[in-house]
Homo-oligomer: A and B are copies of this chain.
Amino acid sequence: MRKISGGVTTARGFKAAGIYAGIRKAKKDIALVYSEAPCVAGGTFTTNLVKAAPVVWCQDILKNGQPKHGMIFNSGIANACLGEQGVKDNYEFAAAAAKELNIEPEQLFVGSTGIIGQPLPMDAIKKGVPSLVAALGETEACALAAAEAIMTTDTKPKQAAATFTIEDEDIEIYVGGMSKGSGMIHPNMATMLSVVTTDINIDEGLLQEAVSKVVSETFNMISVDRDTSTNDTFIVLANGMAGNEKIVKKNKDYDNFETALKVVCKSLAKKMAADGEGATKLIECKVRNAKTKEEAILLSKSVVSSNLVKAMFFGADANVGRILCAIGYSGAEFDPDKVDVFLEVKSNTEEEKLQLVKDGMPLKYSEEFATEMMSQKEVTIKIDVKAGYEKATAWGCDLTYDYVKINGDYRS
C-alpha cells in the first residue's frame, strides 16, 4: 500500500478534462471524468431533505443497472431549489455530454456546486460541452484541470492517489480521486463533490459496501461549519482494467482495496478540512477509549465542530475548558472526572505532546508552550475518556475573520 501522487487519471483507462465555459468569472467551471471501458459504481449523497437536481439524478441512475462511464461537473451554480427547471437542465447537461461520448445520459453522473436557486446558464454549458470532451486526456495535467474546474471557495485543487498489489496475480491496482468543498458544508457553494476512479475489477455490491464504510470514517468525519449542503455527492467508478480476477467476496484483496480507498478519501477529507473557508490550520481530534464507536464519533465531531474550540485555535489560546465543554454536550456518556486531554504536534523531525487535562481537571501547563504548539498548521487534540475501547478521529479547521468575510458577502 503506497500513497502516490496523482488524481482521477491515475487508474488505467480514465481520462479527465476541465475547461472554462462561461458560468463563472474567468475560472474553469466545467469538468469531466470518463472511462471508455464500462464501470461499476458506488456512491453516497447528502442527507439534506432539500436535494439538488443532480443529487436526485445520481441516486436514481446508481440503481439503474446500466454500466457507467463517468461524471460531469459544473461549479458556480448548484442547480438546487429550481423545481422542474432544475431537473430538465440537469438532464440536458448529461445528455449533451453523453451525445458527444456516444453513451446514454443515464450512464453519466452529474455534480453541480455553487449558488442555490439560480438556474444553470444552459447556452454556455451546451456550447462548452463539446470542447470539454475534446479536451479529455490521461495526463496529470488533465486531472489537475478537472480538479481546478470543480473548485469554488477552495483555495487549492484537491487530489490524492494510492496503489497496492494483488499478490497472487502480481497486479498493481490504482485508486485516485479529486474533491472540492472547503468543508462538508456550505449550502451555497453547495459543497462537497468528490469522485474516485479505480481500475480494480470488483463486484458492484461489494464496491458500495467499501464506499459506505470508508465515507463514514473519512468524509463524514470532517466539519467546517456544521451546515450540511444540498449537493454533497461522492461517486466511485471502477472500470476493471487492471484485469484482476473479479473480487466477489471480502478476502485479503478486498481489504487492501478498502484500505487504499480509505487512504485516498482520508487524504482528500483532510485537505478539505484544512482548506475550510478562511481556515489557517487543520484541527484533528482523536478520541480514545469511548464506550461505543458511535460515541467516539459524537465526541470527536463535537470538538472539531465547536465554534468556541475553532475560534480558540485561531487565537492559539489553550482554553481547555472549551474542549471539556464540547465533549460534555456531545451526547456521549462518560465520567467527566476521568477525562485526559493532550495536545499533539508532529513535524518531520520531532513530535511534541502536552497534557492539558488529567482526570477531568486542567493541569498547570506552560501557556507559552501550548500557544506555540497551537500555532502549527496541523494540531491534534487527543482525548481519552476511559469509558471503553472504541476510537474515532475527526478533522476540522479554525474559525477566522475570513470565514465571516467570505460568508457575509458570498455572492458579490
Interface residues of A (CB under 8 A from B): 47-51, 78, 80-83, 115-118, 186-188, 190, 225-230, 306-308, 311-312, 314-315, 317, 319-322, 324-329, 332-334, 336-337, 357, 359-362, 399-401, 403-405, 407-412
**C-alpha gap A344/B31 in the complex (Å):** 41
Q: Is the CB of A407 within 8 A of B308?
A: yes
**C-alpha gap A409/B328 in the complex (Å):** 22
Q: Is the CB of B404 within 8 A of A187?
A: no
Q: For A187, give its contact among B317, B325, B403 (CB under 8 Å).
A: B325
Q: Is the CB of A361 within 8 A of B408?
A: no
- Which 8 residue pairs spanning A and B have beta carbons closest together? A116-B321, A187-B325, A315-B408, A50-B328, A117-B362, A311-B407, A228-B329, A48-B328
Cβ contacts A to B, 30 pairs, < 8 Å: A47-B329, A48-B328, A50-B324, A50-B325, A50-B336, A51-B336, A80-B321, A81-B357, A81-B361, A115-B321, A116-B321, A117-B324, A117-B362, A187-B308, A187-B325, A190-B321, A190-B325, A225-B307, A226-B306, A227-B308, A227-B326, A228-B325, A228-B328, A308-B407, A311-B404, A315-B410, A317-B408, A317-B410, A401-B401, A403-B404
- In the complex, the chain B residue whose C-beta lies closest to that of A231 is B325
Q: Is the CB of B321 within 8 A of A188?
A: yes
**C-alpha gap A411/B327 in the complex (Å):** 21
Q: For A307, give its contact among B117, B227, B329, B412 (CB under 8 Å).
A: B227
Q: Is the CB of B314 within 8 A of A408?
A: yes
Knowing A117-B321, A226-B226, A227-B329, the reply to whether A186 touches B410 (Cβ < 8 A) is no
Q: For A325, give its contact among B83, B230, B319, B412 (CB under 8 Å).
A: B230
Q: Is the CB of B81 within 8 A of A116?
A: no
Q: Is the CB of B230 within 8 A of A328?
A: yes
Query: Cβ of A115: which chain B residues have Cβ within 8 Å of it?
Result: 319, 321
Q: Is the CB of A116 within 8 A of B83?
A: no
Knowing A312-B407, A315-B408, A336-B49, the reply to whether A326 touches B187 (Cβ < 8 A) is yes
Q: Is the CB of A412 within 8 A of B188?
A: no
Q: For A81, give its contact among B50, B324, B407 (CB under 8 Å).
A: B324
Q: Is the CB of B50 within 8 A of A403?
A: no
Q: Is the CB of A306 within 8 A of B227?
A: yes
**C-alpha gap A320/B312 in the complex (Å):** 30
- Among A49, A362, A403, chain B packs the most CB atoms within 10 A around the CB of A49
A38 → chain B closest CB, angstroms? 34
Known A-B contacts: A188-B319, A230-B328. Give 18 more (CB < 8 A): A48-B325, A50-B328, A51-B328, A78-B321, A81-B321, A115-B319, A116-B324, A188-B308, A225-B307, A226-B307, A227-B329, A228-B325, A230-B325, A307-B407, A314-B408, A315-B409, A399-B404, A400-B404
Q: For A362, give its contact among B81, B186, B324, B362 (CB under 8 Å).
A: B81
**C-alpha gap A377/B248 in the complex (Å):** 62
Q: Is the CB of A361 within 8 A of B117?
A: yes
- In the complex, the chain B residue whose C-beta lies closest to that of A78 is B321
- In the complex, the chain B residue whose C-beta lies closest to that of A339 is B50
A141 → chain B closest CB, angstroms? 34
A385 → chain B closest CB, angstroms? 10
- In the complex, the chain B residue whose C-beta lies closest to that of A330 is B49
A325 → chain B closest CB, angstroms? 3
- In the complex, the chain B residue whose C-beta lies closest to that of A333 is B49
**C-alpha gap A48/B307 in the complex (Å):** 16
A17 → chain B closest CB, angstroms? 28
- In the complex, the chain B residue whose C-beta lies closest to that of A80 is B321
Query: Cβ of A320: which chain B residues have Cβ within 8 Å of it?
Result: 116-117
Q: For A308, give its contact among B51, B186, B308, B322 (CB under 8 Å).
A: B186
Q: Is the CB of A360 within 8 A of B187?
A: no
A6 → chain B closest CB, angstroms? 33
Query: Cβ of A312: which chain B residues have Cβ within 8 Å of it?
Result: 407-408, 410
